[in-house]
Structure 1
């Protein structure tokens, strides 16, 4: 498998950059407008057909809320990307050699995998899908990445590992795609968290690919930013009482996780002639650290408690934030702010120290944050118990 999935970065040409800015902006606005137009219709359909996510003991909402907001994600992105791509030819800015060979293969396999996983998510949102079948679907679409020549081929010194042979890198990539996809799906438990994290991540990757002059991937990233913005309004500021609140559901979270795993692996893949350094791994690691570490931590806790690894519970970081007394919006702002701050901190650390030390620092800080939340939860429970005892005495 070849690693030549990225073109050599050329010096920017003024006319080319201007055209690229027009195309990327068009892609963003088309996705934004389509999402803005379709989401209210999804609310109407959900109300008429009674397609609601009903509350239960493990969920963080107390009212029935439509969970079909994610239906708009992949259609918005593909419509915007297709129209913008066609428009590139009309303004005499066609794809050059950068969209041939492995790059074209990556894009086609990504679209195929996204559509397939999106449909699995739609079925799950409507009638439910057993987790084994969802895992099978995820492994199937994860296999499409290595088929296009895209896989984790370098660890940049983590655990002393640099170059990774395809025999190890391919299966490791498949496992990581499935793990990241599920981690993003699991973090989607409070208003705005998965969407906000995705928004920051796609915005970051979109800007990074502008710098690399890989316009097609920047278009793809900004198309996702465009469709997420209207959804975030309905998800965070929508009212269940007035029927304007939406969840993204599995169709949205699975699509979000799959696309994020693609961008993370694509950006981290080592290309010798590009002079890439460890920051190419630090950026994806920083953007996805919260959902990935949280999913891993929860699985470890379930294993030691002899609970089923895939049994839903309320032990995730966002559940702890709520139990510590934070609102949905406060919890989301806390975690998104932490992600953004650590992105810049990690980039600075990566210039100063070994990548293993950077990873250890991130793990220790995440453990500390969980510990502080656990302390706050215990204090609230203790205060609640004392208040209850005083009430009984009175």
Structure 2
């Protein structure tokens, strides 16, 4: 019976997203609300970027109605674990509030552009709602040999990690299907983990979010611009999705019995699905810092840009990055059961560096061959 409460909201989210996106396409083309073209963008045709305005309303409404049905009709008795609603429900309430804040800012940014300083301030304000509901990283599970985290340090770490995730998800949104694919994969993995651990409310939210993204992924990847069937999510979509993924990640990382039983490798597993965008942003920031370039100025140095310059097609680059993300998720999920969290993180860094070095060597070899041929 409990599987129905994952499947039905998931299907409803898919159907609502499928019904709403064509209307968004119609309005954006009539009002000519297109993504501006510049040298940094991969696309060179006029494409609307307001697809993300469909995500938050569907997520919040489907989740809220699902909770109403479950509690009003006593369906929660079908789940194997008891639920301390007074502990976890405030977390979901502040998630809804933060989503509204970022949604409004995202729409404004997609329509008239918002200065990045204001974006950071508003993001921090939205993230500060988490500690109000007692949602914060309270245990590092031995990472850097730290276990319990003091309250204030945990709150600061939570704010930093969440803002970082929001912007990492936003920055990875530079290729058709990449951001939606990564978030969809992350939500499916996290949803499965939550459900396995009996945290079915979090699992429902994760599967609703994945369901919302399926129709968008189709329009974004397979839509044809000339037939007015292609759309981008814009900052409205990427920031609300980043906020949702961060909420799920922090929730799984937290050592709290009301959410899930204690799991030794929880924090490593939780962040595994986001390793590719996180490592990529760290790499780009370090390069900009050492080359004395503006840290927050957009450029074409992200992993998807490098793949495109090396000869990958758009879909080839997207599938490669999704494959890397899935690999790290499975690798970490297995290895945390046998070795310490510190060793798993060390292996992740070594693997990432090895992949980066091998890729750069392969690209340089290809360029050298081209120069010889010319």
Bin of the TM-score, shorter chain as denominator length: over 0.9
Matches within 5 A, 1:65-214: 65-89=47-71, 91-93=73-75, 98=83, 100-214=85-199
Residue 315 (structure 2) aligns with: 329
Secondary structure in structure 1 of the residue aligned to 2:325: helix
CA distance in 2, matches of 1:363, 1:89: 44
Provide the C-alpha distance between the structure 1 equivalents of 2:125 and 2:90, rounded to a whole number of angstroms.
16
2:276 counterpart residue number: 290
The residue aligned with 1:366 is 352
1:258-277 correspondence runs (5 A): 258-271=243-256, 276-277=262-263
How far apart are the structure 1 equivalents of 2:83 and 2:337? 30
Structure 1 runs (4+) deviating above 4 angstroms are: 94-97, 272-275, 383-387
Deviates more, 1:361-370 or 1:314-323: 361-370
Whether the 8 Å CA contact 2:36–2:46 is kept in 1: the answer is: yes
Deviation at 1:272, TM superposition (A): 6.5
**Cα distance in 1 between the residues matched to 2:350 and 2:226:** 41
Q: What CA deviation, in whole Å up to 9, does each residue of 1:115-141 have, x standing for no partner?
A: 111111111111111100100011001
- Structure 1 residue 357 displacement after superposition: 1.7
Match of 2:228? 243
How does the TM-score come out when normalised to structure 2? 0.94
Give the deviation of 1:211 after TM superposition: 2.1
TM-score, normalised to structure 1, is 0.89
- Corresponding residue for 1:11? none
- Looking at structure 1, the residues matched to 368 and 281 of structure 2 have their Cα atoms a distance apart, in angstroms, of 28
Task: Please say which of residues 351-360 and 217-226 is displaced more in the overlay.
Answer: 351-360
Which residue number corresponds to residue 264 of structure 2? 278
The separation in 1 between residues aligned to 2:63 and 2:178, in whole angstroms, is 25
Pair 1:64 & 2:46 matched: yes
Cα distance change on mapping 1:107 and 1:353 into 2, 3 Å: same
Check the 8 A contact 1:317/1:370 in 2, yes or no: no
Hey, what does 1:303 align to over in structure 2? 289
Deviation at 1:90?
Answer: 5.5
Quick check: 1:54–1:63 contact (8 Å CA) kept in 2?
Answer: no
* Alignment check: 8 A CA contact 1:264 1:284 kept: yes
Name the structure 2 match of 1:342: 328
**Structure 2 spans left out of the alignment, 5+ residues:** none
Q: Distance in 2 between matches of 1:189 and 1:321?
A: 12
CA contact (8 A) 2:110 2:236 kept: yes
Aligned counterparts of 2:247 and 2:74: Cα–Cα separation in 1: 29
Q: How many residue pairs were aligned?
A: 370
Distance 1:44 1:81, change over 3 A: same
Residues 34 and 46 of structure 2 are in contact (CA less than 8 Å); yes or no, is this contact kept in structure 1?
Answer: yes
Measured after TM superposition, the shift of residue 74 of structure 1 is 0.5
SS of residue paired to 2:297? coil
After superposition, the Cα gap between the structure-2 partners of 1:89 and 1:285, relative to the gap in structure 1 and judged at 3 Å, is: closer
Give 1 or 2 for the bigger CA radius of gyration: 1
Shift of 1:83: 2.4
Q: 1:251 to 1:44 in 2, by over 3 A?
A: same
* Aligned-residue CA RMSD (Å): 1.9
- Quote how far apart the aligned CAs of 1:242 are: 1.9
Matched-pair contact (CA < 8 Å) for 2:5–2:204: yes
In 2: Cα distance, 1:369 partner to 1:316 partner: 15
Provide the C-alpha distance between the structure 1 equivalents of 2:187 and 2:26, rounded to a whole number of angstroms.
29
